[in-house]
Structure formats: structure tokens, C-alpha cells
Amino acid sequence: MSLRDRKRARTRQTLVDAATELFERHGYDETTVADIAAAADIGTRTFFSYFASKEELLFPEGDARVRAAIEAIASRGPDDGPAEVLLRALRRVGDDSDDMTSRLAALRLRLIRTVPAVRGRAFQLQHDAQREIAGHLAAAFPERLDEVGAAALTGAFVGAVTGALQVLLEDPGRIGDPAAVRAAVRRATDVALTPWMRPSAGAAEAAGPGPPRDTA
């Protein structure tokens, strides 16, 4: 990234960190955009060049997760099925970011349960993400999935991730062990996607990369 892009990324992360601290300390409704901007040492108007609202700030990497899924679909191998492609995208997101296993992730889930505006934004983002990913899956695997099947598979995938995180991140002790959370989420998605996977794919995805087998 350019110097300008790196500076923007640092400011963006500073805003996320400041908001997380303020939301936890004072509450979501009690924290204003001006409070977050002041804690990040920027002006309120500058805040809006990074995030459109407080709700947006709680989902800083939603677009990145969708891009990871689309890139995994586009770079699929000849032997890859749609479920294996989605599981690969999940691994990539987990390796590149802690957004799904962090302190912010746990806070976000609590606010989705208790704040209607956050819940509404979460639903909209999830709905849009599922439609976009399902569309790419149906186009990439026309012999395996029609539009309904692609929507069902994507819904099972997103639902498994979301459902597992809702349980896992209720335990504060797990937030300090992101590797364990990622592993548990992968196991949950393996179970949810089993109907769409090749007979040997579930074991391979769960085990991760390993030595090649002799198939002769």
C-alpha cells in the first residue's frame, strides 16, 4: 500500500479500537460519533470519510469477507466443489484477520442482540453478502448448483459461521484464544456443509494441508 493508504488504514483501525472501548465502557446509545472521533484524535467530519455511521463501524471487514469468498470461487481448482471453495475462503479470512474472533466480534454480537439499529444493519449486510456469494457460486458451478441450491449452500455456510460464533464468543475466556475459536468455527462449517461435500472432502478440510497420498 502507499503511504497514504497505510495512514488511512491506521486511522480506520484507531477509530474501531476507540469505538470498541467506548461502547463497552459507556454503552452504544450513550456513545456519539463526536465521542469516537475525539478519542481517535480526529474531527467529527473526518470520521465520516471513514464510516457512514456508528453501525458501519461495527462491521469494518464485512466487504473483505465477501471479497475473500469471491476470490476463492474465482481461483478454484478443477477438482474443487462449491463447499470446498467456501471453506477455503473461511480459512483465508481467519488467517488474514481476527475480525471474527476479536473483542470487537464479541461486542458486535451482544449489540446485535440488544440494539435494533445494529441488528438491522447486520441483517442487511448478511442478506446482501449471501446474495452476492450465491450468485457467484451459481455462475461458477452451473452443473452442480442452480440459483436455489447456491442460495441454500451459502445460507448454510453463513448460518454455521454465525451460529457457532454466537455460542463461542459468549464465553469471555475464548476471546483470548482466537485459534481455538477459528478451529471450532471450521468444525461447525464442516458439519453444516457435509451434504454438499465429496465423500473424502470433509476429512481433508478438517485435517488441513497434509502430505500427498499415494493413489497408485
Q: pLDDT band for position 209 (50/70/90)?
A: very low
Buried (b) or exposed (e) across 164-185, using 16+ Cβ within 10 A? bbeebbeeeebbeeeeebbebb
The predicted structure's pLDDT at residue 170: 84
Asked if 106 and 99 touch (Cβ cutoff 8 Å), the reply is: no
Instruction: Show the cell assigned to 19.
Output: 469505538
The predicted structure's pLDDT at residue 198: 67
Q: Which domain holds residue 81?
A: 58-207
User: Does the residue 83 lie in any domain?
Assistant: yes
User: Does the residue 216 lie in any domain?
Assistant: no
- How does pLDDT run across 124-134, given as a tens digit for each residue? 999 999 999 99
Whole-number average pLDDT of the chain: 86
The predicted structure's pLDDT at residue 14: 95
CATH code assigned at 9: 1.10.10.60
Q: pLDDT band for position 40 (50/70/90)?
A: very high
Clarify whether residues 115 and 192 are in a common domain: yes
Q: Count the domains in the chain.
A: 2
Clarify whether residues 34 and 90 are in a common domain: no
Task: Give the contacts of 26 (CB within 8 A, at least 6 positions apart).
Answer: 35
User: Does the residue 214 lie in any domain?
Assistant: no
Clarify whether residues 127 and 171 are in a common domain: yes
Clarify whether residues 67 and 37 are in a common domain: no
pTM: 0.80
